Structure 1
Amino acid sequence: MPPSHSSRPLFAGVRLLAFIPATLAALGLAAGWLNLPPLDDLPPTALGVLAGLLSAMGFLLGYGLGWRLRPLLPPAPLPRPIPVRVDLSRLSTEQLYRELERMNREALRSRPARRALAPWPGTRLKK
């Protein structure tokens, strides 16, 4: 059965929360691009933080692009009823009538089969 809940609102919220700081960082970087000090003057810790931020953004962009381009899953197969074998020889006439009516209703509701199946194991259909 498919899940009764959806994770789309959660993904939308996560995307929104990730989009706002990324946008603000990009605007701040664009506004102060000319005032940035050369990378040689930065301490090693700041270089590590900058490299970590760049790799994290690259990872998130790659993950998001891969998520958007993923192939769709095939639809779930339709549930098929499990055939139940009934020993009709032990039923009374009333029970036999009810069982045959139930089997007839199920056969009318089911989709047509490609080939007819023998009603009982060991019997053969005439062609």
Structure 2
Amino acid sequence: MDLRETELYLERTFNRGRKEISGRGPLSTKVRIVDDVIFVKMKMEYSGLSLRLFRFVSECKQEDQYYDSVRDDSRVIAAKILSTICDLQILAMHFKIDIDNRFSFTTIILDGDLENLIVNGKVMKPD
């Protein structure tokens, strides 16, 4: 698998993972792999209630606690997805939600250079 094929595979699988967590998948997903980092940008359709909740959490300066509450589920799903193509582990995950533009951003930091593994043909092709 080349770099773009891997990114497209991750886009599809992160879509399914998001749906598994929230019950609703994103409108679109973009994934980019740079060295040991995976960047995930999802265009979301939030309900009116979800938008109000995110704004309330943000106004109360509780975003970090909110992100902590979803980090464990997200980490498990991301690790499961990564295990289908490589043996790298997740060192850290960072989340950010842009409520006004309805985007969700996730940065996944790995313990090795995934881009280099892909370029050198050392990434498994998923079933």
Please indicate, yes or no, whether the TM-score normalized by the shorter chain is above 0.5.
no
Bigger proportion of residues as strand: 2
Bigger proportion of residues as helix: 1
TM (norm. structure 1) is 0.25
Name the larger-Rg structure.
1
